[in-house]
Structure 1
């Protein structure tokens, strides 16, 4: 037989409320996984109009489709942001003057300020300042880590949105 405990009972205040709060904290990663998680990313807002510097072991250019493929320890630098990958394909506008998009693959690392993210692939739209990372995304911010299937970084306002099986471990402050 189950007995109902009255609300004004001291047991309710001393045991059930902390238990309910702990349950809510335990469910935060589940809630984040269901809805996605929006977080800050990087120390500074990135200006997508800044020049993009690319360093690599080799370069292959296709004049017909307006692409360039950098391979071997590729490092892309734009302002405070760093992106590294084994292979990066660069897509230019029709005139061939401006970079429109960068597509990195083979294991990508993105660093902005003290924040770093890793994923299998990344697609950076330079004009919009949006970086879409997918495939076992790992985000490291100080002592905190988050994982997800996908992450979209808005470099203009310094935020990121993680989606698809978002997971984190919450540390208590002892």
Structure 2
């Protein structure tokens, strides 16, 4: 969503528009189940890859080459995935790719939530999904883009950062929020 630059006359209007856009995005994401693998589920997490290396003494498993991780309908695909385990079981997943991709359908027959970034990290103890470098989250035609996106899966809070003035693109966080009911626009 591209908003005009603030001026003394329109600063309050711009703040309101940005707050409404952020609220719409949060409502969109909040209508979906938490974006993460459920490590407390009885459903298994399945992994397939070209190569695997288990370092049991460190609690690290590294998968490389077209890695696909699934749990029910949740899917993570990347070039490389590292799983970290401790005495409580699996606690962190780090995925890298060009890009790494994450997908989870909603439980209420809504649009699936898809995300991609160069690096995706899931930290179970922190209830955090972190998307780094060219991060994009889409749900239907809604879009959220930033250089770094944190998603608190427990509290359903999204925080995003742009890349500043360096790098490619605008360096800003971008959102596209579609109207809830497009069939009533012409009425």
- Place the TM-score, normalised by the shorter chain, in its bin: 0.5 to 0.7
Residue 14 of structure 2 corresponds to residue 24 of structure 1: yes
Question: Within 1, Cα distance between the matches of 2:156 and 2:40?
Answer: 15
Counterpart-to-counterpart distance in 2, 1:81 and 1:162: 23
Q: Secondary structure at the match of 1:24?
A: helix
- Counterpart in 2 of 1:49? 40
Q: Hey, what does 1:85 align to over in structure 2?
A: 78
The count of corresponding residues between Structure 1 and Structure 2 is 148
Q: Which runs of 5+ in 1 are unaligned?
A: 1-18
- 1:156 to partner: Cα distance: 3.7
Given the alignment of the two structures, is residue 110 of structure 1 paired with residue 102 of structure 2, yes or no?
yes
3-state SS, counterpart of residue 28 of structure 1: helix
CA-to-partner distance for each residue in 1:152-172, whole Å, 9 max, x for gaps? 223345553323321124567
**How far apart, CA to CA, are the structure 1 residues paired with 2:72 and 2:30?**
15
Query: In 1, Cα distance between the equivalents of 2:73 and 2:157?
Result: 15
> Structure 2 length normalisation: TM-score?
0.64
**Following the alignment from structure 1 to structure 2, what is the Cα–Cα distance between the partners of residues 42 and 73?**
31
Change in 2 beyond 3 A, CA 1:155/1:52: farther
Specify which structure has the bigger relative contact order, considering alpha-carbon pairs within 8 angstroms and separated by 6 or more residues.
Answer: 1
Q: Cα RMSD between the aligned structures?
A: 3.3
| Residue pairs, 1:91-130, within 5 angstroms | 91-93=84-86, 95=87, 98-106=89-97, 107-113=99-105, 114-130=112-128
